[in-house]
Amino acid sequence: MTADLTLGIFIAGGAYVGLLVVIGFLSRRARRETSLADFYLAGRTLGPFVLLLTLFATQYSGNSLSGFPGQTYREGVAYYMSVTFMVGIVSGYLLFAPRLYRVARSGGFVTPSDFVAARFRNPLLSYLSALIFAVALLNYLLAQLMAMGHATAGLTEGRIPYWLGVIGGAAIILLYELLGGMRAVAWTDALQGAVLVVGLLLAVGLLISEIGSPAAVLRQVAAVAPAKIQSPSLQLCLLWLSNFLLLFLGAPLYPQAIQRIYAARSLTDLRHALATMALLPHIAITTVVFIGVAGIALFPAESGVTADQITFKVLAFLVEQQPLAYVPVVVIMIAVVAAIMSTADSCLLSLSSILTKDFIGRSRGIDEARLARIAPWTSIGIMLMVTAFAVRPLSTLWGLLVIKFEILIQLSPAFVLGTLHDSADPHGYDGRDVLAGLAVGLAIALGLYASGHRQVHGLHAGVLGVIANYLTCLASRRIRGVRGAEAA
């Protein structure tokens, strides 16, 4: 990386951080009241534009800019099918989001577990769901802070060390979140989402002008790495199907995603945001996959190149070849950090809400006014703890947390089946059905994972668990119906 590019990243990064703090102060002035709903849900006033961009920025983390091109570099052109993964997320929302919004608005829900508690009236199920959400968020927040440290160290060539990147990023996120809560997070997410889209489109435009159209790039790939354009094997197709199911059923269950459903200003705004979001994967994923394919053409067998670094290697190539690439490459570099921050701030806010309301509030019977005063201190405590782990990560803790998706997906029946009927419907599912399914799903997913079988014939342990989970829910409801008929 040239000295000029490093200096540009420093200047642009400083300006960007300053803008985030300004947004935090503006969002604080926009606060209407001191309540949990205002702090954690922006007073339920998010319109379609901000709602769209905050959902987009939350779903596309820094991994999208390095992980997707890296996978494309490893697996070849066929990895373009990953577009379906992200479209599947939007489809997953439609399984329950519109019905959940209506129930949440009438019930005044703040956390995802509020729905579970109100719908099933089973304390064990409520606490277990809150615990699963908290574990998933803890993992995600820890991963983003670690990624932030690596990104800042890499982008500045070590001038900002890893530990300072972690602490600095955590401090900035905590500052604007404490100032404005969900409103600040959503507004900064909108900015970060816009930066991400603009940077990707600029980079792809410059790549096409430098190395040719997608068709020309594919011809180059066929010449230098013909194996990368072959059809995928059946085993790989099964793995992709399993990935699709994980994202289809699991990604919409991220607590920060559910809380954005709660925060929508109206059901119409929510529908418009989801409909538009279904189109974004065709832009975002197509561009990052194209970067990975261009990396195959440009660096087919260079020694020392690791797949996950291919994005930055392609960007460095652009700067060397085209002076005009300087500005968009700086934008892309900032977009990497922005994407990480947009995911981390949402995780912190949701984790704070769950610990404050679901654990502290329910266990001690504290009223909402006092919980609203406790909420900022919960966020501070969480960030201090997670930052300490990120600066000196414990491999044992990390090893335990990487199973987040395998267990998070087990809550799918609670929201999908739970929103099909209300609690008074005799044909609906009750807490015993969902709890039995959750126990079976967790036992299978964790049992397979602990025994080293993370995949069985290409299917993830969590996918097998959630299939058994749904079947158990159906069987439990059926058995209850038969027993009820016999008793009558």
**Once rounded to an integer, what is the mean pLDDT over residues 448-467?**
87
Q: How far apart are CA 407 and CA 457, in angstroms?
A: 19
pLDDT tens per residue across span 349-372: 999 999 999 898 877 777 777 888
Question: Is the pLDDT at 415 greater than 90, yes or no?
Answer: yes
pLDDT at 63: 61
As given in the structure block, the two tokens for residue 295 are 């990396």
Q: DSSP code of 359?
A: I
Q: How far apart are CA 214 and CA 387, in angstroms?
A: 42
**Once rounded to an integer, what is the mean pLDDT over residues 450-479?**
89
pLDDT tens per residue across span 231-256: 888 877 888 888 888 889 888 998 99
| Residues 6+ away with beta carbon under 8 Å from 248 | 88, 89, 91, 92
**Once rounded to an integer, what is the mean pLDDT over residues 153-179?**
83
**Once rounded to an integer, what is the mean pLDDT over residues 146-175?**
81
pLDDT tens per residue across span 20-42: 888 888 888 888 787 888 889 88
pLDDT at 62: 61
pLDDT at 307: 65
**Once rounded to an integer, what is the mean pLDDT over residues 442-456?**
88
357 CA to centre of own chain: 22
Instruction: Identify the band that residue 401 occupies on the pLDDT scale cut at 50, 70 and 90.
Output: very low
pLDDT at 74: 83
pLDDT tens per residue across span 170-225: 898 888 888 888 888 888 888 877 877 787 788 788 888 888 888 888 888 888 88
pLDDT at 339: 76
pLDDT at 157: 66
Instruction: Identify the band that residue 114 occupies on the pLDDT scale cut at 50, 70 and 90.
Output: very high
Q: Which of 140, 87, 143, 147 is nearest to 405 (CA)?
A: 140
Instruction: Identify the band that residue 396 occupies on the pLDDT scale cut at 50, 70 and 90.
Output: very low
pTM here is 0.86
Q: How far apart are CA 127 and CA 435, in angstroms?
A: 11
Amino acid at residue number 351 = L
User: What are the residue ranges of helices labelled H in 225-254?
Assistant: 234-250
pLDDT tens per residue across span 301-334: 765 446 667 777 787 788 777 777 777 777 777 7
Instruction: Identify the band that residue 118 occupies on the pLDDT scale cut at 50, 70 and 90.
Output: very high
Ranking 26-35, 54-63, 206-215, 421-430 by mean pLDDT, the lowest is 54-63
Instruction: Identify the band that residue 260 occupies on the pLDDT scale cut at 50, 70 and 90.
Output: very high
Percent pLDDT > 90 in the chain is: 25
pLDDT tens per residue across span 266-307: 999 999 998 888 888 788 888 888 888 888 888 887 654 466
pLDDT tens per residue across span 182-196: 888 888 888 877 877
Instruction: Identify the band that residue 399 occupies on the pLDDT scale cut at 50, 70 and 90.
Output: very low
Q: How far apart are CA 80 and CA 68, in angstroms?
A: 9
3-395 topology per CATH: Sodium/glucose cotransporter (1.20.1730)
Question: Is the pLDDT at 5 greater than 70, yes or no?
Answer: no
Q: How far apart are CA 45 and CA 263, in angstroms?
A: 6
pLDDT at 337: 77
Whether the CB-CB separation of 409 and 463 falls below 8 Å is answered with yes
pLDDT at 456: 83
- Quick one: how many helices (H) and strands (E) in the chain? 23, 2
Backbone region of residue 460 per phi and psi (left: phi > 0; alpha: psi in -120 to 50; beta: other values): beta
pLDDT tens per residue across span 129-146: 999 999 889 888 888 888
Mean per-residue pLDDT over the chain, rounded: 84
pLDDT at 484: 64
pLDDT at 6: 67
